Every structure is written in C-alpha cells, then in structure tokens.
Structure 1
Amino acid sequence: MTTVARPEIRRAGPRFGAEVSGVDLARPVDDATADDLRRAFAEHKVLVFRGQNLTPDQHVAAVRLFATPFDHPTAVKDPANPLVYPYNVRHTGKAATWHIGGLWRSPVFAIESLVYEEVPELGGHTLWADLQAAYDDLSEPFKALLASVNAVYDGNAENYAQGSGRTALGETVEHPVVLEHPLTGRKGLFISSSALRLTGVSPQEGKVLLDHLLRHASSPDYTIRFGWRPGDFVLWDNQATWHYAVDDYGDGPRVYRKVIGVEPLRPAS
C-alpha cells in the first residue's frame, strides 16, 4: 500500500534545514508525495526524517525519490545492498572537518544520506552550513574575483574513504569556488577544507583567499545543527551545503549507513 498522507515540513532554521513528518519511507511513496518531498528538498537543502528505521533496500529506495543512487568505486559495501555503505567510526575513523562529499569526481555527488543505527548517549551531532547564503553575503567585487577562481583537490577516490591509508597525491581535480546549482540556478560557494590550493591567483593570494573562504563559510551565521537517535534518516544537498560531524563523544558509538545520489531529480513545476 502506498503512502498517501501529505508530508509536514517543519523548518529547523531561518535559512535552511527542515524536519519532515507524516511520511513512512519504509513503504512505497506516491508520485504527489514524492514531488512534495523534492520541492521541500530544493528549498531546505537538508531534510531529517525521524525514526524511519529503514532497511538497506528501503534506504536506497528513499534516496531514489531524489536522485539516482551511486555505485561508489572504493567504498566498503553493505552485504544486503551494494549501493549502501556501512560506517562504524570505531573502525573507520571520524570525519570531524568541514567538507563536501565526492570531490574526487566532477560533478560531485548531488546528495548524501545517512541512516543512523547506533549513536552516543550525548553529543555526536552534525552541523551543516548553507554555502549559498554564505555566497550571498559576499561583496559584489569579491564575487567578481571569485568567478574566475578554482580550487584544486586530490583526485584519488581511495584517499576519501574513511579508514583508508592515504596514498601519495596523484592526479588532481579542479572545481570552481562558486557553483551555480544545476537544478535551482542559485549561486553558492563551493569549497572544502581539503582544498590543496586555488588557481587563477598567485600562491600567496590563494592562501589568503582560501583561509578567508573557509572561515566565512563555516560561520555560525550559516549553520544548523541536528542530534540523532537510532533510526533517523537524513539527506542533504551536497552541492549547496557542507557538513561537519562533531567529535565530542569520545569513544562512544556512531554507526550508520550511507547512500549517495547523483543525477538529481527536478521537482515538477
């Protein structure tokens, strides 16, 4: 039986982010509800669905409402579904930096999503920052400068897998530091803490610009914060936000599954 109740969207912050209720993603979702969810995602950029308790197959089906699930070439795969990637930070290590997923490829992932299985009793929250709002607040002369600047990243997918030993830097990939969103057309900063350098400016200028952009984009003015319970499902726009997993829970548990989406679906007009 398909879900027919319309989703309730509750804003989590003044700029972006929302919690969604009234939808059971463990069941098939009708077309009208799916389109409501895609519109909400385009507007809010981060959507949290509490207590969904999705299986790996249901997790993939939920992401498929928004984008095509991605078969990652280097990630460890869940035996229940090869499009699902299990993480246990006690084994894989933590990702406590501001970052964007999939910088080794172009374009980067459109969507990332997690289903939480175990979480610490206290702490272990996740922050997101709105890179489009951060761009909006830059001066017009500074925006004009950034229009011709790219950031250089490690292009080896192996070096982005949690728990992997980093190999020597090989090929690199460049991304513009200002990205026009492929679905909405809205411009935003597109920068990650793993950037190696900037192009289009001198090395000295690039260092100053990069330091400034990283500080500016991570300002509390642009952030939201969510805490977790087992069974929670979250997905976010990887081309409009960056995120940070807060490492304040010591050796407590943090176990989750990830599904990645590319080729995002546009909501109906």
Structure 2
Amino acid sequence: MEVQALTPTVGVRITDFKASEATPADVERLKSLIAEHCVIHLPGQFLDAGGLEDFAGRFGEHWLGSFLKPIDGHRHAIPIKNNGKALAISERWHADSTYDQCPPYLSFLTAIDLPPLGGDTMWCNQYLVYEYLPEGVKRLINRIRAVHYNRGQVKVRTGASRDDLPGFAHPLVIRHPVSGRPVFYLSAHAEHLEGIGREESALLLDWLRRYNGQPAFSYRHRWSAGDAIIWDNRCTTHYAVHDYGDYPRYLNRVTVAGPQPEAYFDID
C-alpha cells in the first residue's frame, strides 16, 4: 500500500492495493487515513455494485436512508446518475443525509459510466474550515445547532415539493468520532438555526456558507474508469459539478453507518 497526498490539505491516493483483497489490518489503516486526510482515492479498482457493498461492509454496518432505493438485486448500493441539471441536488456543498439523526459516517463511490468531459466531484476539509474561521465567528457558532431537511432528495425521488417534512438539528461544530478534533458541520441540507426562524437564520447561514468549499482546503477529482473514492462525511463536504449536459454519468454509492454527531462544545 503506497500513500501519496492529493493536495497539501485534503486527500490521499493509495496505489499498490486491491480493495477486493483488503485485510483487517488494511481496513484499520484506511480508517486512520480517512480520519486524518478526509478523502481516499483508490484508482484501478473496477468494483461492481456487489464488490463495493462487500468492501464497504468491512468498515462497519451498511446504511441506507429511508428515501434511497438500492440497485435491483442489491440491498445497499444506490445508483448516482444524470437526472439533468435542474435536478442535480448534489451540485452544492453538502454532507450526505445530514437530515437524519445519525447520518452516514463513510461514503464509498465508484465510477461505472463517465461523460467524455466534466462531471468532477470536489471535497472540502471541514477540519481546516473550522480552524481558519475568525475567532469571533467561532465564539458565535460554537453552541448553535442548525436544522437539516430532506426536501431535495424527496423532490428528485417523488417529484413532489414537501413543506411538511420533519427536520433534525445538528451542532454547527461537532467532535469527530475518531480524531476528536472540532469540525465545522454545515451542509446544504441545513435550512435554519434551532429556535430561530428561517428569515432570521438566512443571513448568518448564507454568510457561513462562504467558508465551505474554500479552494485552499479542497480537492477536485477528475474521474477515471475503475476509480473508487472513500470519504468521511463527518469532516468533509462535497460538491458534484454538473457541467456535462445530457451525457451519461453513472456511479455506484454505498454508505456506512456511524453515531449521531456530537457537539464539540456543551450546548444544553
């Protein structure tokens, strides 16, 4: 297993490694690397949906949200495909399914069918976003929760706009469950601050979102056939760029469960 940095601030590429032959020791090392570097690129894996489920299952219990439908014949792998730019709900900085009480911990994504150009995915290191926030901003947000909703996913899956969906509140600053470090935890699914109306919350949330996706803390991945990517939803946000028009873009995703995000600072 050879490890090379993708950027100075986020991500590593691992070569001389076959996911299908991963040992328990390999998995433990990968867990440590993910907690530290946030994103892992594994080129040349060519995993099908079953192989991806198998590999992800070595890291923990599979997770499938209530609104997600797996690929036919599989229990945990879901398709990520081109639904057109108007329905490209991943074209914003987000972590997966933060509208759940216990969002997935790790996400695994493999390239199956790619457009000739475009379709990159970007990841941002949320450890560093928090570290570089102005001290006054940190004091302001350290004990605040944001409420997350699943309107985008429901719209794509059902075609209906829903105003009656329940939300779930998560701290804006969480403690990473492996590294113990503080993380700026703001996903596009967050719609307002706990106990504060949408209109009053909008100015602060819009201002805070300027810190997500800072180029100095981000990695942009150009997909190649056979690629597999693992990322940690607790210390990253990601953004899928829809710049490929009507070309097919098909990937498989499997997620692994984790604990409910824990506040880094005492809120109650």
Q: CA deviation at 1:202?
A: 7.4
Give the RMSD, CA atoms, in angstroms. 2.3
Q: Report the equivalent of 1:35.
A: 28
What SS class does the counterpart of residue 61 from structure 1 fall into? helix
Q: Distance in 2 between matches of 1:229 and 1:193?
A: 27
- Structure 2 gaps of 5+ residues are 260-268
| Matching of residue 8 in structure 1 with residue 29 in structure 2 | no
Cα 1:161/1:259, change in 2 over 3 Å: farther
**Residue of structure 1 aligned with 2:11, choices 6, 11, 17:** 17
What is the aligned length? 257
- Per the TM alignment, residue 136 of structure 1 is displaced from its structure 2 partner at its CA by 0.2
Q: Is the 8 A contact 1:122 1:249 kept in 2?
A: yes
Task: State, as a whole percentage, how many aligned pairs show the same letter.
Answer: 26
Counterpart among 217, 241, 246 of residue 236 in structure 2:
241
Aligned to 2:180: 185
Does the CA-based 8 Å contact 1:48-1:233 persist in structure 2?
yes
Q: Measure, in 2, the Cα distance between the counterparts of 1:107 and 1:240.
A: 15
Unaligned runs of at least 5 residues, structure 1: 1-6, 265-269
For residues 162 and 19 of structure 1, the distance between their equivalents in structure 2, rounded to whole angstroms, comes to: 33
Quick check: 1:12–1:224 contact (8 Å CA) kept in 2?
Answer: yes
2:226 is matched with 231
Amino acid at match of 1:229: S
Deviation readout 1:124-171 (Å, 9 max, x if unpaired) = 111111111000011333212211211112257962765753323332
User: Pairwise mapping of residues 204-219 of structure 1 onto structure 2 (< 5 A)?
Assistant: 206-219=201-214
5 Å matches for 1:47-86?
Answer: 47-86=40-79
Matches within 5 A, 1:19-168: 19-27=13-21, 29-90=22-83, 93-94=87-88, 95-154=90-149, 159=154, 164-168=159-163
Aligned partner letter, 1:212: W
Q: Do the aligned residues in 2 keep the contact of 1:74 with 1:157 (CA within 8 Å)?
A: no
TM-score, normalized by length of structure 1?
0.87
- Could you tell me which amino acid in structure 2 is paired with residue 166 of structure 1? S
**Structure 1 residue 90 displacement after superposition:** 3.7
The answer to whether the Cα contact below 8 Å between 1:9 and 1:40 also exists between their aligned partners in 2 is no
Distance 1:72 1:198, change over 3 A: closer
Q: For residues 22-71 of structure 1, what are the alpha-carbon distances to aligned partners after superposition, in whole Å with 9 as ceiling and x for unaligned?
A: 111123x2222222222211211101111211122210121123232113
Contact 1:149/1:200 (CA < 8 Å) preserved in 2?
Answer: no
**1:267 paired residue number:** none
Q: Please, which of 183, 188, 195 is the counterpart of residue 190 of structure 2? A: 195
Separation in 2, partners of 1:260, 1:196: 24
Q: Which residue is 2:171 aligned to?
A: 176
For 1:169, what is the secondary structure of its paired residue?
Answer: coil
Q: Normalized against structure 2, the TM-score is what?
A: 0.87
Q: Secondary structure at the match of 2:100?
A: coil
Amino acid at match of 1:224: Y
Is the aligned partner of 1:256 residue 2:251?
A: yes
Q: Secondary structure at the match of 2:14?
A: strand
